[in-house]
């Protein structure tokens, strides 16, 4: 008892000291009151998150083998607390003491032994996965590249020690007559057979040794956990509790300073925080994210930048920020008087003067500007780390304070400021597509016409880019055929500001957004249909931050409903094999996966063929995060990688539902055609273009079944 209590006191003191340090570090971050308020507003959502994400391991189980292994190990941690409760009773009151009911009911022993064995199976699975996916074998294709591998193996070894000491203790206890579960604890019973024939005194010694070994392993494990990446055992439920809760990734967060949205008109450069220029600028939730990372590499394995040879790994961004935060923590937590006493060597060790972003900084600029905001990292993260928010906040400081960003993006920003679109074209050109239609499209002058159900938000690409104009005209025709009344803003429409916001130029975003919100509100707009997922996401999820609250639908959602209601009837077969590419801002950001596929499914003759990476695991086209206006100079082009995957399905057509994707995939396919690697007839089209062909009787280019359809 003395040895057990002494060891417990030492371990708890060491662990408590670390926890206190972490608490001080986290609370030194910027305030983020909304995280607390959302839990108070909707405790039911938090409970659901704990049940589904933490207890149910929803995201982990998407990867079946490793997911099941983690499921069993996690539940072993929870259920085997009862074994440690028994150990505490034995330590304090003697090995023959039992809690009535808990330590005498056979089914409990059965559950304890079973979960312990499943945990062992999980450990073996983890070991095999780590061996097969070792960075020494696979280099950067391993999701564990960059992770602290030694620490992971140590944790597996410690969990193994927990299990074998448990069975050693229970086997000796059974042989000594002190395990009251009988044969219900079947594996403990079998282990006890190995101790049969030993004297009572020997068994008492073995039981005491087993008891102390089992307790000491747990105490050492506790100290290791609070000083390692396995801190997620305790922090993951908290991170899930305080995560953002959109349906999908939703909006980019507004710029916050001292817990409040930043007001550019009243901002004080000396008092306010503009993005993240140093580690102290991160919120307490940012620090929680850093400490919660499990280094599993799922985000890294899905990242389009990492998969095409670029330096961005979402995992490594979080780990580098975490390591920097821990290194600088003594300086952050010190008083001004204490800071003055630090020597230059101490400051260098604490990375006091190390820039957050820079050639010699914590995060290299190439890492920061490789992100497409696709959301694959956030979607896959089993502990709900918000990588995109942190990358975007660091971009904001670089753009707005340091004026440091890819030069070609500067042209885009100037065009947005001066002309209201990324290409710098005249606002009057926004109406040219209407001239190619054979029916009238109402243009809003002051108010939306009373009979117009929707405002059709055409978007910059939809109005000004030739390939995207085809989508615009197809959607307009389909709405006209279905009898849906709509109007457009024409010259009054300006860019939603998405490229500026995703680049990090929040000021330009707010300027454009406030202008548009004022226009929409004065026009009395209630319902909007948009063809661009970036516009759709911004209008639906980000404009409410500025007082713009509208019912916004993507054109695939509206068209799918019109087809379902029989207002649009696709009758002419399109005898083509078609593979669909999920736009990131439609799919992962807004969970719209079903409707584009529903449209294709209703078109006769279409043979849909999914790419390997689709829906929530879809692969980016490379245009998001303002990358549409930046050169891709490192590694393989993301759009080329995606088209290579599309070509693997041997399609006649590649379909999508985003003008950015249309351009990026189209460019890559043209390169493939020029190189003789794709058939000349291959094209990229929006799903609305497929639908209009079938509805209007144009069918397949071959026209094989058009007469029958017409008949």
Are the CB atoms for 55 and 262 separated by under 8 Å? no
The answer to whether residue 297 scores a pLDDT higher than 60 is yes
**Quick check: 629 and 412 in contact, CB under 8 A?**
yes
Domain boundaries, given as residue ranges, for the chain? 2-239, 256-404, 415-562, 570-710
To the nearest 10 degrees (0 to 180), the angle between helices 387-400 and 314-333 is: 70
> With 80 as the cut, is the pLDDT of residue 96 above it?
no
Q: Which fold has domain 415-562?
A: Rossmann fold (3.40.50)
What is the pLDDT confidence band of residue 700, given thresholds at 50, 70 and 90? low
pLDDT tens-place string over residues 608-638: 999 999 999 999 999 999 999 999 999 999 9
Least confident interval from 66-80, 170-184, 390-404, 482-496: 170-184
Nearest to 440 by CA among 492, 493, 479: 479
Sequence-separated (6 or more) residues with CB below 8 Å from residue 40: none
Residue 263 has what pLDDT?
85
Is the pLDDT score of 709 beyond 50? Answer: no
Please, are residues 475 and 434 in contact by the beta-carbon 8 Å criterion? Answer: no
Q: Hey, what are 400's tokens?
A: 């707005």
Contact 310, 365 (CB under 8 A): no
Q: Which of the following CATH numbers is that of domain 570-710: 3.40.50, 3.30.70, 1.20.5, 1.10.3470?
A: 3.40.50
Q: What is the pLDDT of residues 169-190, one digit of tens each?
A: 989 888 888 888 888 889 999 9
pLDDT in tens, 275-291: 999 999 999 999 999 99
Statement: residue 710 has pLDDT above 70:
no
- Range scoring the smallest mean pLDDT among 76-85, 89-98, 411-420, 700-709: 700-709
pLDDT band at 706 (very low <50, low <70, confident <90, very high): very low
We find that the CATH architecture of domain 256-404 is Orthogonal Bundle (1.10)
**Equal CATH topology for 256-404 and 570-710:** no
pLDDT per residue as tens digits for the range 333-389: 999 999 999 999 999 999 999 999 999 999 999 999 999 999 999 999 999 999 999
Residue 705 confidence (pLDDT) above 70: no
Please check whether residue 353 is in contact with residue 403, taking contact to mean a CB–CB distance below 8 angstroms. no
Lowest mean pLDDT among 260-269, 428-437, 558-567, 642-651: 260-269
pTM score, two decimals? 0.92
Element (H, E) at 9: helix 2-27
**Mean pLDDT over the full length of the chain:** 92
């Amino acid at each position: 008892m003395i040895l057990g209590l002494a060891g417990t006191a030492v371990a708890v003191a060491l662990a408590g000291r670390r926890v206190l340090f972490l608490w001080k570090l986290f609370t030194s971050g910027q305030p983020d009151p909304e995280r607390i308020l959302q839990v108070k507003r909707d405790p039911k959502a938090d409970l659901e998150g704990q049940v589904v994400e933490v207890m149910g391991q929803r995201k982990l189980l998407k990867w079946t083998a490793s997911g099941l292994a983690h499921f069993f190990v996690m539940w072993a941690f929870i259920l085997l607390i009862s074994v440690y409760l028994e150990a505490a009773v034995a330590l304090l009151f003697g090995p023959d003491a039992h809690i009535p009911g808990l330590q005498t009911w056979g089914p409990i022993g059965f559950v304890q032994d079973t979960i312990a064995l499943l945990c062992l199976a999980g450990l073996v699975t983890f070991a095999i996965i780590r061996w097969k996916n070792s960075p020494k074998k696979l280099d950067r294709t391993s999701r564990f590249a960059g992770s602290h591998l030694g620490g992971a193996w140590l944790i597996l070894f410690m969990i193994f020690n927990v299990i074998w000491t448990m069975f050693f203790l229970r086997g000796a206890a059974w042989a000594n007559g002190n395990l009251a579960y009988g044969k219900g604890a079947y594996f403990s019973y079998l282990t006890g057979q190995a101790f049969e024939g030993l004297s009572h005194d020997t068994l008492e010694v073995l039981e005491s040794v087993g008891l102390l070994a089992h307790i000491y392993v747990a105490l050492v494990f506790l100290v290791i956990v609070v000083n390692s990446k396995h801190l997620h055992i305790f922090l993951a439920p908290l991170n899930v509790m305080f995560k953002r809760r959109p349906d999908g990734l939703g909006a980019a967060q507004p710029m916050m300073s001292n817990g409040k949205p930043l007001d550019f008109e009243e901002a004080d450069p000396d008092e306010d925080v503009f993005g993240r220029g140093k580690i102290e600028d991160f919120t307490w939730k940012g620090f929680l994210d850093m400490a919660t990372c499990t280094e599993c590499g799922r985000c890294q394995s899905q990242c389009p930048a990492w998969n095409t040879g670029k330096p961005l790994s979402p995992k490594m961004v979080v780990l580098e920020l975490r390591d920097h935060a821990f290194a600088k923590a003594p300086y952050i937590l010190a008083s001004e008087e204490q800071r003055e006493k630090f020597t230059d060597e101490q400051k260098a060790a604490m990375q006091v003067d190390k820039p957050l972003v820079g050639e010699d900084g914590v995060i290299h600029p190439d890492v920061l500007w490789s992100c497409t905001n696709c959301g694959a990292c956030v979607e896959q993260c089993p502990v709900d780390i918000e990588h995109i928010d942190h990358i975007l906040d660091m971009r904001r400081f670089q753009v707005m304070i340091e004026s440091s960003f890819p030069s070609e993006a500067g042209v885009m920003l100037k065009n947005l400021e001066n002309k209201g679109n990324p290409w710098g074209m005249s606002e009057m050109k926004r109406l040219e597509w209407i001239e190619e239609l054979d029916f009238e499209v109402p243009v809003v002058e002051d108010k939306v016409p009373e009979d117009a159900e929707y405002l059709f938000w055409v978007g910059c690409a939809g109005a000004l880019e030739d390939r995207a104009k085809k989508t615009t005209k197809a959607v307009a025709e389909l709405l006209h055929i279905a009898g849906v009344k709509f109007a457009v803003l024409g010259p009054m429409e300006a860019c939603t500001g998405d490229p500026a916001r995703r680049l990090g130029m929040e000021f330009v975003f707010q300027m454009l957004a406030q202008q548009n919100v004022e226009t929409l509100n004065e026009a009395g707009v209630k319902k909007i249909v948009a063809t661009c997922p970036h516009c759709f996401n911004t209008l639906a999820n980000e404009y409410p931050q500025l007082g713009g609250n509208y019912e916004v639908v993507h054109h695939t959602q509206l068209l799918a409903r019109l087809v379902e209601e029989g207002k649009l009837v696709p009758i002419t077969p399109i005898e083509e094999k078609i593979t669909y590419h999920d736009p990131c801002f439609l799919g992962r950001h807004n969970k719209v996966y079903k409707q584009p596929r529903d449209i294709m499914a209703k078109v006769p003759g279409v043979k849909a063929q999914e790419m390997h990476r689709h829906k929530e695991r879809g692969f980016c086209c490379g245009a998001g995060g303002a990358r549409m206006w930046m050169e891709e100079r490192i590694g393989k082009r993301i759009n080329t990688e995606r088209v290579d995957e599309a070509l693997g399905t041997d399609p006649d057509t590649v379909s999508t539902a985003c003008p950015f994707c249309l351009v990026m995939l189209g460019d890559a396919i043209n390169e493939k055609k020029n190189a003789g690697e794709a058939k000349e007839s291959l094209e990229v089209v929006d799903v609305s273009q497929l639908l209009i062909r079938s509805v209007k009787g144009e069918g397949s280019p071959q026209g094989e079944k058009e007469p029958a359809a017409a008949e």
